[in-house]
Structures are given as C-alpha cells and as structure tokens.
Amino acid sequence: MAPVVSTLQERLRDALVRIGLEPDERPQVSATTDPRFGDYQTNVAMTYAKRAKQNPRALAGRIVAALQVSDLGPAPEIAGPGFINFRLGADFLARQVAEMARDERLGVPVASPAKTIIIDFSSPNIAKPMHVGHIRSTILGDTLARVSRFLGHQVVTDNHLGDWGTQFGKVIYGWKNLLDHDALEQHPVAELVRIYREADAAAADPRVLDRCREELVKLQQGDPENLRIWQECVSRSMQEFSRVYQLLDVHFDEQLGESFYHARLAALTAALQKEGVLEESDGALVYWAHSLSDDPFIIRKSDGGFGYAATDLATLFYRLERWQPDAIWYVVGAPQQLHFKQLFSLARRLGVKIDLEHVAFGSILGEDRKLMRTRSGDSVSLDELLEEAIERAAAPVAEKNPDLPAAERRRIAEIVGLGAVKYAELSQHRLTDYVFSWDKLLSLHGNTAPYLQNAYVRSRAIFRKLPGTFAFPDTLAFTAEAELKLAKALVQFADAVPAILDGFRPNVLANYLYELAAVFHVFYEECPVLSAPEPQRAVRLALCETFGRVTRAGLGLLGIGVPERM
C-alpha cells in the first residue's frame, strides 16, 4: 500500500499532466487542520494559477475534472480561493487499514534510494559524569538511528568519546597524588571528578600547573605509566556509561573516541598545508572562513598541540574512507554551530561532497529557567536522574496494580519512567530550550509518554478479556463515526514516520502518536468493543489491535517501550 499523501500526489500529478501543466515531483498535499475542509487538501490550484496567471478557482475546477480519485472517496470539492479538499471514503479507509494490518511495516514505505548514514551522538567525556546535557544528544541520536534504519537506510552509530583532552594532565596528576583507591572502587567517575577538581584547584600554584602539563606531555608522548592510568580512566568511565546506555536501550556500532584519531593529526595537518588551505596566525595554523566568522578554525595550536578542530576533521576523513557514507549527522548542542559551520566549510573546500548536518538542539533548563543544576550547583548526573524517574513512576504503578510481583512492577516503572524522560525530549522541537519538570513529564494527562502508554494498555486489556483468539477480518466495514476517525488517524502513520527525517524532528511523530491516542480514547469511550455484536465487534477489535501496533511501533522508533499493564 502507498501512504495516502503519496497516493494523492500521484493522482494530482496525473491530473496536472492531463490538463497540460508540468507538475512538481511531489505536489503539495497535506492533512487538513479542520474536518470541515475534508481529510486532505491541496493548494496547487492557487500556486499554479499564480504561475500561469489564471483564475485559481477556474483552474481548480479543471484539475478536479481531470482527477481520478473515485476509488478513494467522494468527488473532491473546491473551496475558498481555490483549495481542493479530499474526503476519504469508508470503504477506502477499510481497505487501507486492512492492508496496513497485513504489513509488518504498518504501511511505512522503504526509503529509496537507501543511504549510508553515520550518526555521531552522545559523546560523553571520560573522567566526567554523564549529566543531563548528554541526554538530548543521546536520545535524539538514538531516535534518528532507529527511524533511519526502519526506513531502510544503512546506519553507523558512533559514540565520539571525549577521551583525549588537556584535562588528562590534571587527572593524571590527581591520580598520582590525590587518589583514594577505596573511593575509586565505590564510585569511579565521582572519584575521577574529585581528583580532577582538586588538581584543578591546586593548579593555581604554578608549580602544580607545570607538573600537570608535564603529565599531559608524557601521556601524549606515549609514556607507559601515564597511558596505563589513562586507559584505566577510560575503562572505568565506560563501565558507568554502559550502565546508562543499557538503561536507555541505546547501542553503538562504534565508539571511536578522540584518542583514536590522535596519531593521524600530524599527517593530516601536513596534507592541509600542502593543499594550501591553512595560514599561520600568532604561531597557530588556522583555516579562515571569513564569510562565517572573524575567528579562525584552529587546526594546530601555537604550542604544536591539536584541538578538536583537527580531531573532528580527521574523524570526518576517516569516516569517508571507511564507510563511504552519503551523510554524516552530528547530534551536538546548538552552542557549537560555529564550529560545525567552519568544519563543514573546510571539508567543502577540500572537496567533500556528501551531506553534512549539524543536528543542533537546545538546552535543558531547571524550573527556574536556568541551566539545570543540582542544589549544590553541579550539573545533574544522568544515572541519578534516570533512577529518580523510575522511582517516581513506580508509585502510581504500585497504587494501581498492587497485586503484581515487585520485579514486574519495577519493570513497568522502568518502561514508564524512562519513557517519560525520553518522550519529554522528543515531543518538543529539538531547538527549543526545554524546562525539565517531573510533574509534567510523568503526568498521565496531555502529551506525555505515560498517557500514550496508558492508551496502549487500555487497548491491550480488551484482548486479555477476549474469550478465544482474535483473527483479523479479511474485510472491515466501519459504522460509527469514532471508528472512521480512528481509521483516518491510523492511516496517517505511513506519512508521519518519513517526515521525521525531514528536518530531524522526532516531535512530528510524537505529536502524531499523541493525537492518535486522543482519537483512540474517544473511540474507546464511544464504542464498546467486547459487548458489540458481530461483525462490529471484529471491526473494533481490528481497530484496537492496529492502534496498539502503531503505538508500540511508533514509541519504539522513539526508543520508548510499552507495558501490557500499568
């Protein structure tokens, strides 16, 4: 089956050709915002009238006369200045829902052509805790990967770890002089942070600062002792990160951190110099993109060291070589826009043609509208935040389902609590700075994960009470208005999923799922299922099942699970 919008676009294209116009590949068609205007609308008559200097309503009349859509529903209507409104017929919707139910993909088409896409996201820093700042990158990147894969693209997810920076001078100094081994065993990252902070404070003394620098230089020169300490920091940090990733159900194909590229930087710089794209400035080697900024892109620092500009460029070339991707997406916060513009500018200059995207996002704010912090002023650690989400979600579960075993309740609380945190991110436009509020994201009302999960649970409860097994009917016949509305909403899934990648907006899918759940709730209120006579009962069960599958699949694309009860 084809998504409704694609079908209408196709028919529209044929009609435009028939009346002698040259249509776009995908003439504008969209679902209407108001049911009075039908289910779908197009304004092509007005846009073409403008080009051809014709009367828009007259042109709309010619288009409608040439349109062959009688299998989809009643004849389209012309309204207002030249809108063409389509209404889907009950029999078309019935066929469409039955077809989507037979399809494992629920009607979502496979993208063509399939692309190879590298998604760079999460990227926490070694020896620092993962905090709320990392959650958006992690969750957004994971969702984009899930959606891209579902659409048939070849995806490589890469966690570009911050495992090679100047902070290691202080960390190693701290390790050698300040380390508490018991604390390291108990809370590795916390202890690494502590020694870093103390070393940082001690570095106010120039002698300590010098020793920190020496440790860094030794590390960079391959000193075995310092390499061992560094490796130890990496593995202990990774253990903690892995727990968070496991909790979030986030997985990477590669975790090639900055250190992986370290050995390549000197040769890369030499190659860039040969290309003549670098200039010397105050002892540093820089690339200027004056149209972007008066500030340079520093490839090699005046002390001969390399910053992350060099690393990111080396990373880009490594990826080109290894995977020959069609696109690389960097899921990194909005403050780094200039960095990526400069990086991409230099890459273009060097002949890179593939699609490079900085998928930027806004900050997470506390309820005081400032960057989210703990009471003591630290950034909020991610594992604590996730644990709190689970604990908070556990309370209503225990209240509603006290008879469930504790382990089962915990599992449900994880699905609900973690889902709520993820959904709060994803349901919002990615560039919006969003205000973190436990009460809002865990609310059972409004556009939240628990609301959607509850709608799913209600649809599933029906099947538990159903005597015998349910066989999806070959044909459906809708009788109630609420059934038709639910069918119309279900059929839109096929258009909602591909739209996510258009502008990297998972909130499009979230909003769709929310509206779908609201429509389902109306159906649920108005249409008794189990007590309905056949064949109505089978039709309603079919709608419940399809709703459940769409919700499960849709939330799954957002990395969010659904419980069977809650």
Partner RNA sequence: GCGCCCUUAGCUCAGCCGGAUAGAGCAACGGAUUUCUAAUCCGUGGGUCGCAGGUUCGAGUCCUGCAGGGCGCGCCA
**Residue 166 near RNA by CB under 7 A:** yes
Nearest approach, Cβ of 270 to RNA (angstroms)? 17
Residue 183 vs 398, nearer CB to RNA: 398
Verify binding: residue 62, RNA, rule CB under 7 A: no
User: DSSP character for 326?
Assistant: S
534 contributes a contact to RNA by CB under 7 A: no
Question: Using an 8 Å Cβ cutoff, are 229 and 169 in contact?
Answer: no
The set of long-range contacts for 346-354, using a CB threshold of 8 Å and a minimum separation of 24, is: 346/277, 346/287, 346/289, 346/297, 346/313, 347/313, 347/316, 349/277, 349/287, 350/272, 350/275, 350/277, 352/316, 352/320, 354/320, 354/325, 354/326, 354/327, 354/328
Backbone angles phi, psi at 76, to 5 degrees: -60, 155
| Residues 243-262 interacting with RNA (rule: CB under 7 A) | 258
What tokens appear for 306 in the block? 């390399």
Instruction: Answer whether 156's CB lies under 8 Å from 254's CB.
Output: yes
Chain positions 227 to 246 lying near RNA, rule: CB under 7 A, are none
Query: CB-wise, 183 or 217, nearer to RNA?
Result: 217
Distance CA 360, CA 140 (A): 10
From 9-17, 42-50, 224-232, 240-248, span contacting RNA (CB under 7 A)? 42-50
> Which position among 105, 262, 339, 411 is part of the footprint of RNA (CB under 7 A)?
339
The DSSP secondary-structure symbol of 474 reads S
Interface with RNA, residue 369, by CB under 7 A = yes
Distance in angstroms (rounded) separating the CA atoms of residues 337 and 189: 29
Q: Angle CA(441)–CA(446)–CA(450) in degrees, nearest 5?
A: 55
**Interface segment toward RNA; rule CB under 7 A; list 8-16, 93-101, 259-267, 507-515:** 507-515
Binding residue for RNA, selected from 137, 148, 167, 546, defined by CB under 7 A: 167
Give least dist CB 439 to RNA, A: 8
Q: Does 450 bind RNA (CB under 7 A)?
A: yes
Q: Which listed residue (255, 447, 546, 551) binds RNA by CB under 7 A?
A: 447
337 binds RNA (CB under 7 A): yes
Shortest Å, Cβ 523 to RNA:
8
Least separation in angstroms between CB 314 and RNA = 12
Residues binding RNA: what is the number (CB under 7 A)?
102
* The one segment of 226-234, 244-252, 307-315, 320-328 that binds RNA by CB under 7 A: 307-315
Among 307, 366, 473, 556, binds RNA (CB under 7 A): 307
Q: Which helix (H) or strand (E) holds 51?
A: helix 44-52
CB 48 within 8 A of CB 21: yes
Residue 288 CB, shortest distance to RNA, in Å, is 9
Residue 530 beta carbon to RNA: minimum distance, rounded to whole angstroms: 4
Considering beta carbons, is residue 184 or 423 the nearer one to RNA? 423
Residue 425 within binding range of RNA, rule CB under 7 A: no
- Site mask for RNA (CB under 7 A), range 461-480, x = bound: xx-xx---------------
Nearer to RNA, 52 or 114 (CB): 52
**Do 128 and 163 meet the contact criterion of CB atoms below 8 Å apart?**
no
Q: Is 74 in the site for RNA (CB under 7 A)?
A: no
Bond preceding residue 113 cis, omega within 30 of 0: yes
Nearest residue (CB) to RNA, 321 versus 399: 399
Measured from the Cβ of residue 407, the count of other Cβ atoms closer than 10 Å reads: 8
Q: Report the distance separating Cα 280 and Cα 282, nearest Å.
A: 7
The reply on whether position 366 binds RNA by CB under 7 A is: no
Residue whose CB is less far from RNA, 385 or 426 = 426
Among 137, 381, 507, 551, which residue interacts with RNA (rule: CB under 7 A)? 507
Q: Which is nearer to RNA, 180 or 378 (CB)?
A: 378
Phi and psi at residue 118, to the nearest 5°: -100, 130
Q: Among the candidate windows 74-82, 94-102, 134-142, 187-195, which touches RNA by CB under 7 A?
A: 74-82
Binds RNA (CB under 7 A): choice among 47, 54, 220, 479 = 47
Query: 430 and 505 in contact (C-beta within 8 Å)?
Result: yes
52 touches RNA (CB under 7 A): no
CA distance linking residue 347 with residue 353, whole number of Å: 8
For position 269 contacting RNA by CB under 7 A, the verdict is no
CB-CB neighbours of 151 under 10 Å: 21
Place of tokens 């994960």: 449
Is residue 396 at the binding interface for RNA, with CB under 7 A as the rule?
yes
Q: Is 265 in the site for RNA (CB under 7 A)?
A: no
How far apart are the C-alpha atoms of 396 and 452, rounded to whole Å?
Answer: 15
Q: Closest distance between RNA and the C-beta of residue 514, in Å?
A: 7
Using rule CB under 7 A, residue 325 touches RNA? no
Give the neighbor-by-neighbor strand order of the sheet with 30-31: 30-31, 40-42, 83-86, 77-79
Asked whether position 168 contacts RNA by CB under 7 A, the answer is no
Instruction: Tell me the window of 141-149, 233-241, 372-380, 500-508 that interacts with RNA (CB under 7 A).
Output: 500-508
CA angle 30, 100, 554 (to 5 degrees): 70
83-102 residues in contact with RNA (CB under 7 A) are: 83, 85
Contact call for residue 35 and RNA (CB under 7 A): no
Which one of 40-48, 204-212, 232-240, 316-324 is the stretch in contact with RNA (CB under 7 A)?
40-48
Q: Distances in Å between the alpha carbon of 88 and those of 27, 364, 476, 540? A: 19, 42, 15, 19
Q: In this chain, which of 99, 371, 373, 383 binds RNA, going by CB under 7 A?
A: 371
Residue 153 burial by CB count (10 A; 0-12/13-18/19+): exposed, middle or buried?
Answer: buried
